[in-house]
Structure 1
Amino acid sequence: MKKFRIGAMPSPISDAVKQRLSEVETATVGHIRQWGFMDPEIQALRHTRRVVGVAVTLALPAQDSTLLHHTLGLLRPGHIVVIDRLGDRKHACWGGGVTNAAHASGATAAIVDGMCTDPLEIAELQFPVWCRGITPITTRIYDLGGMLNMPVSCGGAVVNPGDIILADENGVLVLSPDEVDEVADYALAKQQRGMENVRRIHEGTRLGDLSGATKFVERDAID
């Protein structure tokens, strides 16, 4: 049986999809749906960037990063590397050297369901990474195997190659391509209403009146 399972590289994100989602906040989508979000422990690593891109999925076992090093030569602008670490929380598969290679390819970002290393070097390169934390213990080239562009689990979310990734300071959201328009329409409209509500609050309107909370409380007091 082969140690490596390799699928086709997805096409980079289209300009139309990128433009539709570039102003969407993950927290806005979180007002209406609770699926597709990665575990909140997967956090932005020393940056406040928002990125949109297409998932290139990897499953890497334990202390091995053989397949990741190979994949870095296949990345294109618009790709976001999504790495399922298969439960490993000890070894950092992503660090300064890997970031330099991903940055040189023009890739958009990386999402790691596990640990990273070299946070200062990554920050200096201004390459957005999301991960669970930092460790000095790293992976090596051990040729243990892995999967590329197969369905993976990252932060509890199922990610298929070619899925759309929206990530910002609040977290990481996975969308199938056919969900993009519906999610973008909802989120952008809600964000516009939110800006109008902020304006009204600054003019003196109470938040409880805007949200309807005060009506419920006052009704209960009368009852």
Structure 2
Amino acid sequence: MYTINDMPEQLPAEDLALLAEVETATVGHWRLFGFMDYGIKPLLRGKRIVGTAVTLAIPGADSTLLHHAAGLLRPGDVLVVDRLGDDRHACWGGGVTIAAKAAGAVAGIVDGPCTDLAEIEDSDFPMWARGVSPITTRLYDIGGGLNIAISCGGVPVMPGDAVLADESGVLVLPRAEVRAVATEALRRQSSGREREATVRHGAKLGELTGASAKVLARMAP
């Protein structure tokens, strides 16, 4: 009924600190995979989190294993929940939020709806989900998997992966790729800030990016 594996090794603090300065949209300028479906949206505005993925798969109307998993979370963890296709029942509400925050988890990400939005807001706990629903799960003891390979928002997630989430969406990275991706993103963000400053002082965006040259070349007789 249940598959429960050991908690994953947490990501190095220095890698998380580097990734914390990255915007998901910056990575989206060149990377094509690892981004969850845009239907998984932040429930709180202005949040950016990084952490180690703890993965969970629970079926339909049953959240028994979620309650158990909440007691295993550690500071720095992000609980990523695969709802196995269910988009009707809210598995995550105020009680789970309080438990996850008390354990030190930095966020929850659910491929389905949540409930008790006011309690999530009052707890100031970052959540990404597909919206809210009044129809909740129950402790049916059907089964599920903890720290197994899952799919969330169309993205494969392994226990121990890095999670970066902000107002633009959720990005999952294999732990071995975190430093390279973060370094490239920070380089691009720095270049972007320099370009924006130049545009504010009168430079033309199309000239700086090369877009105008492409358009004019197409129009040339």
- Cα deviation for residue 11 of structure 1 reads 2.8
Aligned partners of 2:11 and 2:175 also within 8 Å = no
1:8 to 6, 17, 22: 6
**Does the CA contact (< 8 Å) of 1:47 and 1:123 recur in 2?**
no
In the alignment, structure 1 residue 205 sits paired with structure 2 residue 195: no
Is the aligned partner of 1:55 residue 2:53? Answer: yes
Q: What secondary structure, in the 3-state scheme, does the structure 2 residue paired with 1:209 have? A: helix
1:33 partnered with 2:34:
no
For the 8 Å contact 1:115–1:134, the answer to whether it is kept is yes
Question: Quick one: distance in 2 between partners of 1:136 and 1:75?
Answer: 26
Q: Which residue of 2 aligns with 1:93?
A: 91
1:138-175: CA deviations, max 9, x gaps?
00100000000000000000000000000000000000
Give the AA of the match of 1:12: Q
Say whether residues 1:24 and 2:9 are aligned partners: no
Q: Distance in 2 between matches of 1:37 and 1:11?
A: 22
State the identity %: 55
Structure 2: unaligned runs, 5 residues or longer = none
1:80 is paired with a residue whose SS is strand
Secondary structure of the residue aligned to 2:52 is: strand
**Could you tell me which amino acid in structure 2 is paired with residue 211 of structure 1?**
T
User: Aligned ranges for residues 1-223 of structure 1 at < 5 Å?
Assistant: 3-223=1-221
Distance 2:217 2:97 in 1: 57
1:146-205: CA deviations, max 9, x gaps? 000000000000000000000000000000011011101110000000000010001100
Q: 2:170 aligns to what SS in structure 1? A: strand
* TM-score (normalizing by structure 2): 0.98
Q: Which runs of 4+ in 1 moved over 4 A?
A: none
CA RMSD of aligned residues (A): 0.8
Structure 1: 5+ residue runs without aligned partners? none
Count residues with an aligned counterpart: 221
**Alpha carbons 1:12, 1:77 under 8 Å: kept:** no
Secondary structure at the residue paired with 2:72? coil
Q: Output the CA distance in 1 between the equivalents of 2:12 and 2:126.
A: 20
Deviation for aligned residue 1:17: 1.2
Q: Secondary structure at the match of 1:218?
A: helix
Q: Which amino acid aligns with 1:130?
A: W
Instruction: Tell me the distance in 2 between the aligned counterparts of 1:220 and 1:30.
Output: 27
Q: Counterpart of 1:168 in structure 2: which amino acid? A: D
